[in-house]
Amino acid sequence: MANILIIDDDDSSRALLISLLRTAGHHSYGVPDGREALRSADYEPPDLILCDVLMPLMDGVEVLRQLRHLRQSGMPVVAVTGLADSAEERDRLLATGFDGCYSKPLNIRTFAREMEQYLPPVWRGHAPPAPPVEAPAAAPPPGPSDSVFDRPAALAGLGDDAPYLDRLTSMFLIQWPGQRGDLRAAVAARDPDATHRRAQALKGNLAAIGARSGSAAAARLDEQALTGSMDSIERLLDAVEREVDRFAAAARVTAGRAPGAHALASRTARTRRVRTCGVNGF
């Protein structure tokens, strides 16, 4: 199996990438910042690095520069970032020396297989093929609750793996209070850069688990922060919190009706107890 290092300051984004790549048969591990990534890559060079761009302490471009100049000149480094949603920004990142550039939110069905093109040939072909996409049957227009928690769309993005979606949802619900606190702190400090980083990560995490209205609210917050103006930012953050709270309620109701709901509830409660003791339950 290939060794793949993920650099991302957002816990949920990092955990999602690690899980996707481990499911594909690779040894993936993550660090929250560039300085720790440089130490890790220097100690045990990975076969591939996936790197966020907007991070505190050291951004992804600086991480790449130091890897190329000081340590690992030939190691493939791929940007995985919410910044790459325009061709101009993607070209800019590739021009800095990244071997590839992928935009958040990711296509979860195909991501692991797409990453294998950057690995040495011996490690390619480990990811299972993405399940075929079948033409959907005619369905009525989505109701109001579908935009809060679009479980069918989230399952489609995960190859209809319901236990995996439940695990991602449980992980998000456990981490949300901390993410909410970080967002509140960034807004209270009137810091548009920190608000942008947090909102951008939240937007992608919510999209991955089917929280359509929550992801849209986070996108509006992100767009406002990108302007550099903090006008109306409190109102936009309030909207994000309302939508995430609605998603949390809908997800719990849905999980309570789904097979394996007892296991999901038990895992969520167990992880909360472990985290209370200061240990990462995932």
Question: How, if at all, do strands 77-81 and 48-51 pair?
Answer: parallel
Q: Which residues contact 65 (CB under 8 A, 6 or more apart)?
A: 96, 97
Would you say residue 274 has pLDDT above 50? no
Q: What fold is seen in the domain 3-123?
A: Rossmann fold (3.40.50)
CA distance 32 to 9: 4
Judged by DSSP in three states, 120 sits in coil
CA-based nearest residue to 118, from 101, 135, 140, 96: 101
Question: 210 or 131: which carries more pLDDT confidence?
Answer: 210
Q: What CA–CA distances, in Å, run from 32 to 112, 113, 197, 227?
A: 20, 24, 13, 26
Would you say residue 160 has pLDDT above 90? no
Within the chain, all domains assigned CATH 3.40.50.2300 are found at 3-123
What is the model's pLDDT at position 65?
Answer: 93
What is the model's pLDDT at position 256?
Answer: 61
Beta bridge partners of 13: none
Question: 211 or 280: which carries more pLDDT confidence?
Answer: 211
Within the chain, all domains assigned CATH 1.20.120 are found at 144-276
Q: What fold is seen in the domain 144-276?
A: Four Helix Bundle (Hemerythrin (Met), subunit A) (1.20.120)
CA distance 235 to 228: 16
Mean pLDDT of all residues in 218-242: 94
Mean pLDDT of all residues in 141-153: 72
What is the model's pLDDT at position 279?
Answer: 28
Beta bridge partners of 79: 51, 101
What is the model's pLDDT at position 141?
Answer: 43
Give tens-digit pLDDT for 75-116.
Answer: 899 999 877 667 888 999 999 999 999 987 777 778 888 999
Question: How, if at all, do strands 27-31 and 3-7 pair?
Answer: parallel
- Lowest average pLDDT, out of 48-52, 61-65, 227-231, 272-276, goes to 272-276
Would you say residue 174 has pLDDT above 70? yes
Give tens-digit pLDDT for 256-265.
Answer: 655 444 444 4
What is the model's pLDDT at position 278?
Answer: 31
Mean pLDDT of all residues in 200-228: 92
Q: Which residues contact 146 (CB under 8 A, 6 or more apart)?
A: 152, 212
What is the model's pLDDT at position 268?
Answer: 44
Would you say residue 64 has pLDDT above 50? yes
- Other C-beta atoms closer than 10 Å to the C-beta of 194 total 18
Would you say residue 136 has pLDDT above 60? no
Q: What CA–CA distances, in Å, run from 152 to 99, 139, 142, 210, 251?
A: 34, 12, 11, 8, 12
Stated pTM of the model: 0.71
What is the model's pLDDT at position 222?
Answer: 92
